[in-house]
């Protein structure tokens, strides 16, 4: 089994409910178990145009699936929630990102792990630190070092 961290985000159609529903669907992914989830955090949007604030969280899962098979399952859940990929970084009903896949570094046409922009996003690092404060990235960088360098983004914990 591989321990993975999944970023969850939504800023449309009752975002907190979208995240709760996504977590329930993640429980149904074969060969995968959701171990824990951070609290929910509100953050300012990053992306084009006027958008509502996001609700974000991070889930810790264990899986025996390959990384791209897990990605397929997560994208199927996004699709169930009405995710449309029309505008990069645009508003969305649900976004599920593989942040870390064990201690692996992966770079394929479909998937880059660790997530390439996670070090710039406090709405990823704060909830990740809630779950695993002593975590180190695959390159050995402590999560706390990334968090200390990360720019602020009007982030606050909801629950």
Return the active site residues.
83, 92, 95, 97
102 Ramachandran zone, left/alpha/beta (phi>0; psi -120 to 50): left
Identify the residue whose tokens are 């509100």.
42
Backbone phi, psi, residue 51, to 5°: -135, 155
Select from 125, 127, 122 the least CA-distant residue to 155: 122
Angle 98-133-147 from CA coordinates, rounded to 5°: 75
- What are the residues whose beta carbons fall under 8 Å from the beta carbon of 142, sequence distance 6 or more? 134, 135, 136
């Amino acid at each position: 089994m591989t321990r993975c961290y999944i970023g969850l985000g939504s800023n449309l159609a009752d975002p907190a409910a979208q995240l709760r529903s996504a977590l329930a669907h993640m429980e149904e992914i074969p060969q995968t178990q959701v171990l824990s989830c951070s609290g929910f955090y509100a953050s300012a949007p990053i992306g084009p145009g006027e958008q509502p604030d996001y609700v974000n969280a991070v889930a810790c899962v264990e899986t025996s699936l390959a990384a791209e098979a897990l990605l397929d399952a997560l994208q199927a859940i996004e699709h169930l929630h009405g995710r449309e990929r029309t505008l990069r970084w645009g508003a969305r009903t649900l976004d599920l990102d593989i942040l870390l896949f064990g201690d692996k570094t992966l770079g394929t046409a479909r998937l880059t792990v660790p997530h390439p922009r996670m070090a710039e996003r406090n709405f990823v690092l704060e909830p990740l630190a809630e779950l695993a404060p002593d975590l180190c990235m695959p390159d050995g960088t402590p999560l706390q070092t990334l968090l200390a360098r990360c720019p602020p983004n009007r982030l606050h914990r909801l629950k």
